[in-house]
Amino acid sequence: MKRGLVIGKFMPIHAGHVGLIDFAARRCDELIVSMSFTPDDPIPYQKRFGWIEKLFNDQPNIKPRLIADDFDNPHLPLDVRTKGWAEVLRKVYPKIDFVFSSEPYGEFLAKHLGAAHLPFDPDRRLFPVSATAIRQKPLAHWDFIPRIVQPYFVKKICFYGAESTGKSTMAQSMAKRYNTVFVPEVAREMITTNDFTADDIIRIGHAHYERILAASEHANKLLFCDTDAITTQIYSKHYLTLIPPVLFELESKMKYDKYFLFDIDVPWVADGLRDLGNAREEMHEIFKDELEKRKIDYTLVTGSWHEREQIIVNELEKFF
């Protein structure tokens, strides 16, 4: 039996890695895909390893394995450095016959393991991408990110602010413009008056959180969210004079990549649920203060509809 080895951090695994692994799997009976990790990696190792397992679940000759990255010394010359790798890998894995790689280390590591080196796309002509580039600008390299990995890199956009400022309409409009999905203000689906209870507000908080998780699985690069957990806290405090602690927990679990604070320089429109038309300035300041208290960076959305769209689009284009 011929055994191959592919090593990497896979942070994240991308189309180039998948191409390399498929190339290797066709050339040996068993392929060990060794993923190294540290506790401080920018993408949790459990998530990365789960992606690898799911991607190759239907290829039994591919054996994903985890190995702690506690034996490397990046300050050494590559020949010496890979000798240390080989010493550890020999203790952990059975005899390796082939090393597959797209990097300069491959030839050295194969030599130290007594294996043959089979390079794959070393010039990155087939897959002009790197994990570092994906982490820095995921939307610019979207087509190189496997579908199972894409939800992790979806940029969550929060439209935030007082009532009747155009958030809901803008969320739908932007989702259509960017060919993606949006999460509506879930509270409006669950209550019809402002006579609600603490249990109601907790259910709203959980429902909004779960809706965002579900929508992230289907979003195309961007996910537009109409309000957030801070909004739920603000209205809970206003109407109930209390904030259930779980709303702060939900806030800590859901992070947004960009906040847009909608100004109140548009007409207030009654809709049967809104009742704060006489307190717009006060509520706007409350919303703004909550962001500033948390040191959350935001962009103010103001002016006509066209001007508001342009402000948002100009900011979003920075992601690309």
Query: What is the number of other CB atoms lying within 10 angstroms of the CB of residue 232?
Result: 24
% of the chain surpassing 90 pLDDT: 88
Task: Write down the pTM of the prediction.
Answer: 0.87
Q: What is the rounded average pLDDT of the residues 156-180?
A: 95
- Of 272 and 202, the structure prediction assigns the larger pLDDT to 202
CA 264 vs CA 50, 164, 227, 279, 280: distances in Å = 45, 8, 15, 11, 7
The pair of structure tokens assigned to 122 is 């070393």
At residue 279, the pLDDT reads: 76
What confidence category does residue 194 fall into, taking pLDDT thresholds of 50, 70 and 90? confident
The CA distances from residue 38 to 7, 43, 48, 65, 85, in Å, are 15, 10, 12, 14, 15
Instruction: Give the three-class secondary structure for 3.
Output: strand
Question: 278 pLDDT band (50/70/90 cuts)?
Answer: confident
Q: Could you give the strand order of the β-sheet that contains 181-183, starting from the edge strand earlier in sequence?
A: 181-183, 222-226, 155-160, 258-262, 298-301
CA 225 to chain centre: 15
Helix (H, G, I), strand (E, B) or coil at 33: strand
More confident residue, 144 or 266: 144
Q: Dump pLDDT digits (tens) for 7-60.
A: 999 999 999 999 999 999 999 999 999 999 999 999 999 999 999 999 999 999
Hey, how many other C-beta atoms are within 10 angstroms of the C-beta on 33? Answer: 26
Across residues 242-262, what is the average pLDDT? 97
Buried b (16+ CB within 10 A) or exposed e, 183-197: bbbbbeeebeeeebe
Q: State the pLDDT confidence band at 273, using cuts at 50, 70 and 90.
A: low
Average the pLDDT over 246-263 and give the result.
97
Average pLDDT score over the chain: 94
pLDDT at 167: 94
Return the domain boundaries, the chain.
3-144, 154-319
Rounded to 5 degrees, φ, ψ at 96 are: -100, 130
d(CA 40, CA 240): 41
- The yes or no reply on domain 154-319 and CATH 3.50.40.10 is no
3-state secondary structure of 7: strand
Exposure b/e, 145-154, CB count within 10 A at least 16 = b: beeebbeebb
Model confidence at 98, in pLDDT bands (50, 70, 90)? very high
CA trace torsion 177, 179, 180, 185 (10° rounding): 30
Half-sphere exposure of 236 (CA within 13 A, CB side): 23
SS3 at position 178: coil
CATH of segment(s) 3-144: 3.40.50.620
List the structure tokens of 267: 């007409």
Q: What is the mean pLDDT of residues 153-181?
A: 95
pLDDT value for 188: 79
